[in-house]
Chains A and B, each alone.
Chain A
């Protein structure tokens, strides 16, 4: 019949849950269903103390199919990708990968990407790297350029146009 979350009046989004589980299974060979909420992930989560991310809760909400409330939240962007949850989970669930899936979904649905990600993406599209080659400051406040340090030129995509075309097309595709 139906299962309704009385807090948010949200219904279980079983199709999207299936989609996410398929993606997890395809990429990592794991699905979220096996989680029994031991919370070892949250106990060790590098982002939890500062930013209140609860990886076990993310998994539990996924199991219930309450995807929208996560995609629309800010907390999914607090994950530090330390992979401790994936490493130590006794049931081989990977909250970190579920979070990547949710973040990807947020971006694909048109939500604003927080912070500098957009700038990094644009930089990749234009020069193939996440930022321009920088001039750095030494400890005694002198400015140094890369070439002044005797380092060779930075490796970049040879045919920039082809590279950009592929990436631009790819940017709107879903995994």
Chain B
């Protein structure tokens, strides 16, 4: 049993419950234990446009809290993961910033004392747990399910701060999906953005990005659209209807979290994976030849 501190981030904790539910369901099956820790706050990423110093501080304080547990930090939300990665890079390379932030952290009785090992859902599954282990747990193979993967911008870029997957040709999710007997296929729009980051100030444009990508996925006949980011999922799944209205298209794309799909393949009950919380037509997804 490998243990990690769990950092869910704001969107998962306050709204995207299906992601948290499916994570908590499948992790024990792959021998991962999660430690819930008190005291976390927002990672600060949504505030980067307002005041980047605040973003750095917020990320640093969460890292300092996690550090106390002496475990690796599991951050399934790619936006939080990037914010933490960038914060660590700056804290390691810039002594002036580090001292300044630590000065502020001491007001909360916290200190940043060096890097925490950050892990996202994809590298946890692909690099740490391994495909063999995942394969052994499959009870209901996703027989040739044609899957469109969506990694999300913050998971794959910018590669210079170190991301868990390749920025131009990410394939780790595909490898995991193939272990579940699914058929993931590349598509031209694979690396396109969901628009979530401007949802706060330009909602119509954000929904247009979402709608445009879903239209492309739908036109290419995919059975299911898989994502790993609560911000992206919120756009593609929760706001799919609105997105369709915005781009004047009838969207009917099943959107699931990777962890939900894994859960289904492992034979876990739909309800426990939060499948009823998905607003996209996920009932269309046929699992295990049913």
Contacts and interface: CB of A to CB of B under 8 A. Distances in A.
A touching B, CB within 8 angstroms: yes
B53 interface: yes
A140 interface: yes
A26 B10 CA distance: 28
B113 interface: no
Contacts of A156: 38-41
B85 to A, nearest CB: 12
Contacts of B38: 155-156, 158
B117 interface: no
Given A47-B205, A82-B193, 7 more contacts: A51-B202, A103-B49, A114-B201, A115-B203, A146-B14, A155-B39, A170-B51
Most buried by A among B49, B277, B278: B49
Most buried by B among A139, A150, A162, A171: A139
Interface residues of B, number: 63
Contacts of B279: 137, 139
Nearest to A81: B197
* Chain B residues touching A, majority SS: helix
B201 A115 contact: yes
A81 B153 contact: yes
A175 B107 contact: no
Interface in B152-206: 153-154, 157-160, 167, 192-193, 195, 197-198, 200-203, 205
B90 interface: yes
B205 A51 contact: yes
Interface of B: 8, 10-11, 13-15, 17, 20-21, 24, 36-42, 46-54, 56-58, 90, 93-94, 96-97, 104, 107-109, 153-154, 157-160, 167, 192-193, 195, 197-198, 200-203, 205, 208-209, 274, 276-279, 282
Contacts of A170: 51, 53-54, 57, 104
Contacts of A90: none
A29 B195 CA distance: 27
A104 B21 contact: no
A138 B274 CA distance: 9
Contacts of B49: 77, 100, 103-104, 107, 117
A134 B15 contact: yes
Nearest to B37: A155
B276 A151 contact: no
B158 A87 contact: yes
A116 B198 CA distance: 10
Contacts of B201: 77, 114-117
A86 interface: yes
Contacts of A162: 107-109
Given A131-B14, A171-B54, A82 B157 contact: yes
A132 B42 CA distance: 12
Given A86-B157, A163-B41, A100 B94 contact: no
Contacts of B90: 27
7 contacts: A77-B201, A83-B157, A84-B157, A100-B52, A108-B51, A128-B41, A139-B279
A120 B277 contact: no
Contact of B41 (A26, A129, A169): A129
A87 B157 contact: yes
A29 B177 CA distance: 37
A116 B160 CA distance: 30
Contacts of A104: 49-52
Contacts of A134: 14-15
Contact of A138 (B56, B93, B277): B277
Contacts of B51: 104, 107-108, 170-171, 173, 175
A32 to B, nearest CB: 16
B192 A138 contact: no
